[in-house]
Amino acid sequence: MESLVLAMVEEPSVCAAARALLGAVVFGHDGVAARITEVEAYDGPDDPASHAYTRTPRSEIMYGPPERLYVYRIHGHHCANVVTSAEGRGSAVLLRAGEILDGHDAARARRGDVVDHLLGRGPGNLAKALGITMADRGTDVRTGPGVVVRRSPPLPAETITAGPRVGVRLAADRPWRYWVSGDPTVSAYRRHARAGESTSPPRRRIQ
């Protein structure tokens, strides 16, 4: 019981990896670049909300080497993740939102005529703005081709906020979503309709 509590409290390494991706710049297709403002951490077999919770052909790439792109489709949208763990662990970071820095025309051609701060808000919209599709699965984001991630120095901890992950039914209260505090490109929180009860959704400053 005590070990269970400790396991719940202890933060897996993918959470630090997620925070480290805030501020990184993703270079996508057709000259679109985005500064990452919102991410979510997904761990391996210990995280019921993660695709890696069940090891299948789809999630196998999460168990592969780090720095590879894991792309999946949901409800007709693409979502992009970066595998952050050593081979065999199965954790990855979902890129949930970004500020478009360059390639606004190409991004808008894919996303439609929306104001800048909405171009890359939400994981499906961000992937769409960047032109990321299933064809980018497995890309080494250190080298490309197609998609490259340039990491930045860590953001000051006091500029990062954490909260529960968006739209997950299982493990709905783990505060493994991280975003740049107050950034207009960050997506809204939506709790899964069938997620378990929660007295007060955890939200805290990183320190």
Partner DNA sequence: CCTCCGATGTGCT
Partner DNA sequence: GCACATCGGAGGC
Amino acid at site 68: R
| Binder of DNA out of 169, 202, 203, 205 (CB under 7 A) | 169
| Of 29 and 177, CB closest to DNA | 177
State in angstroms the smallest separation of the CB of 111 from DNA. 7
Per-residue contact string for residues 29-58; x = within reach of DNA by CB under 7 A: -----------x-x------xxxx-x-xxx
Q: Is 116 in a helix, a strand, or coil?
A: helix
Of residues 60 through 99, those in contact with DNA by CB under 7 A are 62, 70, 72-77, 79, 81, 92, 94
Taking the C-alpha atoms of residue 187 and residue 173, their distance in angstroms, rounded to an integer, is 18
124 sits near DNA (criterion: CB under 7 A): yes
**Out of 146, 181, 192, 206, which residue is the one contacting DNA (CB under 7 A)?**
192
Q: Compute the distance between CA of residue 205 and CA of residue 48 in angstroms, rounded to an integer.
A: 24
- Please answer whether residues 185 and 97 qualify as being in contact, where contact means their C-beta atoms are separated by less than 8 angstroms: yes
Look at residue 136 and give its three-state secondary structure.
helix
Alpha helices in the chain (DSSP H): 2-9, 13-21, 104-111, 116-119, 123-130
Binding site for DNA (CB under 7 A): 40, 42, 49-52, 54, 56-59, 62, 70, 72-77, 79, 81, 92, 94, 111-112, 122-126, 165-170, 187, 192-194
